[in-house]
Structure 1
Amino acid sequence: MNVASTVVLRRNVWFVVALTLLFSGCSSRTDTAGSAEDSGKPRVALIMKSLANEFFSTMAKGAEAHQAEHAEEYELVVNGIKDERDVSRQVALVEEMVASGVDAIVIAPADSRVLVPTLRRAMEAGVTVINIDNRLDAEVLQEEGITIPFVGPDNRAGAKKVGEYLAANRKGDQVAILEGIQTSFNAQQRRLGFEEAMKEAGMQIVSSQSADWEMSRANTVASSILSEHPEVSAILAANDSMALGAIAAVKSAGRSGEVQIVGFDNISAIQQAIREGKVLATADQHGDQLAVFGIEAALKHLSQEESATSDAIEDVETPVDLITADTLAPPTP
């Protein structure tokens, strides 16, 4: 069966599922670009983590802008979960997208291990899968007997850049790390990058704890760390949402200006915090383009399928840049 026939078949499956969901009262947070009718164009599903996180809302906007510019080439379905830890909902989204007949899934997995079996089943159903942002676990991929290309930055290298900048501008030698969800590969890599930079600089990590990528959780964890370790002179947060929580904790502890903070993602709120001197640095992994890179890889693979070529999709390393007060772009008027 060629790709065109496969696409038509999936449209029919999608139509049946859509009717089922309509009459059963089911719903999901899904935005669709393009017509729901059979257009003959491939349908790509973007499945992200929490849209409450500015990084992922920026990612969604970038993907939607790309689709608008290439409306004749593909249709886009955008999905996100409400909570970074709601892995079961993300699993359900993958299953829903497969049932709806999408041709490709581009996913930023909430967990590097749990999603793999579900993605294997998606691939067995003929869906192209591209992994972005958070790399899937290599051991679990091997156990499942599949290969899924990763399109994204070197998180460890990006975190190390941020840590090295902190070390070069430090006010003290004792620091704490706010980790992401510990089963996520990008959280592990960012922690390792921070640790490597601190070790090379001879700085001591007195506490390293997960704050689950979330601002409120980071506020609580950072407050506890500052209470238990008043000698801490810096907090390295594995994403900018947690850096915002650290800012609030430092302020509540009466230590604004004393405790340096760094983050990762370069969201707009952190850009303003850098300008105000509340945050020293962050890393920009170009969230507005990250999903686009994944979508382009998926479309390339679908095109190869249609032309009967069989080249494997390779990993694509995307840029990650250090952002400081000196390198930050001026605010938009």
Structure 2
Amino acid sequence: MADSSRLNRRGFLVGGAVVGAGALAAACTSNEPEADEGAAGQQNVAAGGDNDKPGKRVTIGFSAPQADHGWIAAIAKNAEAQAKRYSDVDFQAVEPTNDINQQISAVESLISRKVNALVLLPNDGEQLNQVARKAMDAGIPVINLDRVFPDKLSYRTWIGGDNYGMGVAAGHYIGNKLKSKNASNPVIVEIQGIATLPLTQERSKGFADALKTYGFTVTAKQDAKFTVETGNQVASNLLQAHKKIDALWNHDDDQGVGVLAAIKQAGRNEFFMVGGAGSANAMREIKNGGVLEATVTYSPTMASSAIRIARLIAQGKGMSDLVERQVPQSITLASETITRQNVDQYLPLGFES
């Protein structure tokens, strides 16, 4: 295999045709069925109810980090594609950046344009908290996407995935399977994202809590920084350290490209693996059969729902499936488990790593 310093995400991809990156969530305003998939490369979108009928024209601003990760890239694509569904939405996205000060300046430019709503995925919730509060104080509702601001006065609604729930879902899948095999003192390995992040700690806690209900614990865990290269290195180290493994949970399907490459290079297949987030290449691996049996979702389709929510709030509407007249203050998406049995249902929603 090539030197790890030269390895990239695409170099690790194993088979399967490339499909469109990311797809849109089911309508947050309706229970009606999804619309047909559009032209190649377009996002799958859902048909809506009465709330989807054209209304007051609104301008929605959007800011997110630079798309240097498959999940982040899908966030931006989902947001833009969803906004295009509406003739009454003017979508204004600023240049994505991983520089905190540049993102602050970009958000300030949206505030000066007096957008009607702002969908904001901050590089860092704490450091962007003040500029989000500035938008709210200016009367611009902020839809806080994924990385939460510490001050609730800095956002109108937060929407994001369930990190603890991801761990619980992975833990139940692994626990159930090992229990059915009457496993005793199984070797369970966990590959985290960035260990210092609260989201990673929540995932690990959910995983440990779920495993505990089966009488199991994590044997070893190490973080892989959400990168393909580090995923490859960490997996290689863990495989060398443990000559026999029963189950492995990898928190992130992007870094999982490197993890799978290490497993295949080592020729190991005595264990099964669960991924995290729900990438298209992970789903193709699941469908083909092999070590990777499942992945638990943390879907970038949340960006699609964030655009829908921003539009509703800007137009003074609520969510039609709820009794309440206003959009909720917080929405946590469920973490779903994708296996070979249901992978065909989820594959159109996968994002490319």
Scaled by the length of structure 2, the TM-score of the pair is: 0.68
Deviation at 1:147, TM superposition (A): 5.0
Mapping for residues 121-160 of structure 1, pairs under 5 Å: 121-134=134-147, 136=148, 140-141=150-151, 146-160=154-168
Superposed, which structure 2 residues align to 1:156-235 within 5 Å?
156-170=164-178, 173-182=186-195, 184-235=197-248
Structure 1 partner of 2:270:
258
Count of aligned pairs: 279
CA contact (8 A) 2:248 2:271 kept: yes
Shift of 1:282: 0.8
**By how many angstroms is 1:202 displaced?**
2.4
Shift in alpha-carbon separation, 1:327–1:181, aligned structure 2, 3 A: same
1:322 corresponds to which letter in structure 2? T
Residues 216 and 327 (structure 1 numbering): CA distance in 2 closer, same or farther, change over 3 Å?
Answer: same
Q: 1:216 to 1:71 in 2, by over 3 A?
A: farther
- Equivalent residue in structure 1 for 2:254, among 220, 241, 263: 241
Q: Distance in 1 between matches of 2:92 and 2:195?
A: 31
Aligned to 1:46: 62
Q: 2:338 aligns with which of 306, 323, 327?
A: 323
The reply to whether residue 314 of structure 1 matches residue 342 of structure 2 is: no
Q: Which residue of 2 aligns with 1:10?
A: none
The residue type equivalent to 1:75 in the other structure is F
Deviations 1:210-241 (CA, angstroms, capped at 9, x unpaired)? 22222222112222222333344332122211
Letter in 2 for 1:329: D
Could you say which structure has the greater relative contact order, defined with CA pairs below 8 angstroms and 6 or more residues apart?
Answer: 2
Determine the C-alpha separation between the residues in 2 that align with 1:207 and 1:87: 34
Percent of counterpart pairs with the same letter? 25
Residues 142, 154 of structure 2: 8 Å contact kept: no
Q: What secondary structure, in the 3-state scheme, does the structure 2 residue paired with 1:58 have? A: helix
Structure 1 residue aligned with 2:50:
none
**Structure with more of its chain in helix, by fraction:** 1
Distance 1:100 1:186, change over 3 A: farther
For 2:243, the aligned partner's letter is P
Q: 1:74 aligns with which of 73, 86, 90?
A: 90
Name the stretch that deviates more: 242-251 or 70-79.
70-79
CA deviation after TM superposition for structure 1 residue 63, in Å:
2.3
- Give the Å deviation of 1:73: 3.0
Measured against aligned partners, the alpha-carbon deviations of 1:278-323 in whole angstroms (never above 9, x if no partner) come to 31111234433x1121122222222239xxxx96852123343210
Gaps of 5+ in 1: 1-39
Distance 2:135 2:196 in 1: 22
Render the CA deviation track for 1:47-83: whole Å, top value 9, x for unaligned: 33452333333333332222222032332426544x6
Rounded to whole Å, the distance in 1 between the matches of 2:192 and 2:257 is: 14
Flag structure 2 segments of 5+ consecutive residues without an equivalent.
1-55, 318-324, 349-353
Distance between the aligned counterparts of 2:85 and 2:264, measured in 1? 44
AA partner of residue 163 (structure 2): N
**Using the alignment, how far apart are the partners of 1:169 and 1:89 within structure 2?**
47
RMSD of aligned alpha carbons: 3.1
Supply the distance in 1 between the matched residues of 2:215 and 2:304 (Cα, whole angstroms): 39
Q: CA deviation at 1:268?
A: 0.8
Q: Which amino acid in structure 1 is aligned with residue 175 of structure 2? A: A
One-letter identity of the residue aligned with 2:158: F
Which residue is 1:108 aligned to? 121
1:189-209 Cα offsets, whole Å, 9 max, x none, are: 222221222222222313333
Paired residue secondary structure (2:337): strand
Aligned-pair distance for 1:160? 1.1
Please report how far the alpha carbon of residue 99 of structure 1 lies from its aligned counterpart in structure 2 after TM superposition.
4.6
Question: TM-score by structure 1 length?
Answer: 0.71
Corresponding letter in the other structure for 2:291: K
